[in-house]
Structure 1
Amino acid sequence: MSEYDKVRTKKLVLKGEKQKSKKRKHKKQGRDEKTTSEKDDDDTIRHGGWKKTTNITDITGTVAIEFGNSTYVKALDNGLFTLGAPHDEGEGPHPEEILTAFPINETKIALKSGYGKYIGVDKKGVVVGRSDAVGPMEQWEPVFQDGKSAILGNTSCFVSVTDDDDIVCSKLTAGPNEYVHIRSMAQEVDDPNKDMPQEELGSIEEIEVNYVRKFQKFQDKKLKISKNKISELKKAKETGIFHETLLDRRSKMKADRYCK
């Protein structure tokens, strides 16, 4: 626990509906929309201020992944994940159940645990949080359909919870054990970059320097920046391998503490 302290839907139109009911329908529609809004607000209140997301653009910054009712994915200090204990009404997720999300492109996101590690999938299909950079296996695609949502991994499998409450990514189709609610803290965000990792702020060139400063050993107290063309990073960002390429460039400079 100490590590965490640091760290529109349209109304269905029926064929044959009488014209004279049109005015009444509009009033009813307004009441339906208000009721839906009220239900959403009630749901958020029951979950301690954590709002259910319905679009990938909502998934940024502080989030939690809920399976079932008020039970959230929980990070363990060994890099694995399990399903936490049920929460009382009005209670939000615990610190170890809170993740950080940031967008990779229009369809994919990356997730980081409270231990500062990116979440991915290992060769056995187990969800793990042990990576210091975002590669293909650390990219996730939230899927929203028919009022349900699930998380698709790079292996074309969905995130799921087992009978033992372990979190895996091994099902090719989504069913009850794969349906989730991705919740975000319901609050106004003045700065669109407020919840972005500090290293991700700035231009591509500045981002590379940020990561070098963070991980370089600095034996000679000089920054060692890759001399390869910056266009390599621009292409990598477009194809979704930006962080993997950053790590590779640092590795070739033989100055990164995580590279041998």
Structure 2
Amino acid sequence: MEDSFKKVKGGALLLKGEKKKKHKKHKKRERSGEREEKGEKRVKKSQDTFQEDMKLHDGWWLADNYAHIVGPVALQFSNGAYIKALDNGKFVLGAPHGDGEGPDPEEILMAMKVGDGKISLKSGFDKYLRLDKSGKMVGVSDAVGAMEMFEPIWEDGKMAILGPNGRFMSIDDEDLVIFDKDKVGTMEIIKIRSNRIRDDMKKPEIPEEMKGSMADVETKFVKKFQKFQDHKLRINQNGVAQLVNAKRAGNLHETLLDRREKMKSDRMCK
């Protein structure tokens, strides 16, 4: 009975001779347009924030999911400092960096995915990171085993790193990197930064025929498509202002085609 009611309940009843009102649909479209506009603004704001953060860290952007953690990375604490490898295999908290500065060479690690949401890390001394018996991080391993696997965990946009001993990464009183916390506090919040070029950061390649001035573009476009048996290149003589406006409007290809077709039709009429 309830299903039948859902099927027949299609909208407001209309009396005989009464025209259906459309203003509600218009309002719905307006609200939909407003939502789309707000969504676009949020995306742009997010992109602007991302770009500004990356600029402040010399091109090192903030990883916000497991897929991003591969290749060169740097582990940054809440005070802006990165963990740093020492030549004795130990890791300490380095000095804070100023705006526009990225991590130092000793602060850059190589991350690799090892499955189940876990990663392994290799230092610039070509050694994998692991935990020693006291829970301190050291770079001394030549291969990856259970003690060389770490798990980044996100919650509410923040991240902590869980060690193979079931405890979180932190810093001790001597500024050594240690995994000894059962709960996540301010000093256990970690940022993983990368300078690897992501697919969504790559600039689209410009086709060769679209490079140069608008006059050059039209000439190359005509050469590409025109069959000139009489060896005469026929270019529209109305200037390039129309092409400039078309490029701004996003319909340059259509305008180039229309101009070429116009030249063909004019030639046929002669």
Give, in whole Å, the separation in 1 of the partners of 2:34 and 2:174: 52
SS in 1 for 2:97: coil
Alignment of 1:187-202 (within 5 A): 187-188=197-198
Q: What residue in structure 1 maps to residue 141 of structure 2?
A: 131
Deviations 1:190-247 (A, max 9, x none): xxxxxxxxxxxxxxxxxxxxxxxxxxxxxxxxxxxxxxxxxxxxxxxxxxxxxxxxxx
Q: Does 1:90 align with 2:100?
A: yes
Give the letter for the 1:96 counterpart: E
Report how many aligned residue pairs link the two structures. Answer: 172
Shift of 1:26: 2.1
Give the letter for the 2:121 counterpart: L
Alignment of 1:195-210 (within 5 A): none
- Contact 1:47 1:70 (8 Å CA) reproduced: no
Q: What residue in structure 2 maps to residue 101 of structure 1?
A: 111
Q: What residue in structure 2 maps to residue 26 of structure 1?
A: 36
Give, in whole Å, the separation in 2 of the partners of 1:131 and 1:117: 5
Is the alpha carbon distance of 1:163 and 1:22 closer, same or farther for their aligned partners in structure 2, counting shifts above 3 Å?
Answer: farther
After TM superposition, the score normalised by the length of structure 2 is 0.61
Q: What residue in structure 1 maps to residue 128 of structure 2?
A: 118
Deviations 1:7-28 (A, max 9, x none): xxxxxxxxxxx96644322211
Among 29, 33, 38, which residue is 2:48 paired with?
A: 38
Q: What residue in structure 2 maps to residue 146 of structure 1?
A: 156
Shift of 1:69: 4.2
Give the letter for the 1:61 counterpart: G
Shift of 1:181: 0.5
Structure 2 unaligned blocks of 5 or more: 1-26, 200-270
The structure with more helix, counted as a fraction of residues: 2
Shift of 1:185: 0.6
Larger radius of gyration: 2
Among 42, 48, 57, which residue is 2:58 paired with?
A: 48
- Contact 1:157 1:170 (8 Å CA) reproduced: yes
After TM superposition, the score normalised by the length of structure 1 is 0.63
Give, in whole Å, the separation in 2 of the partners of 1:182 and 1:75: 16
Shift of 1:177: 0.9
SS in 1 for 2:135: coil
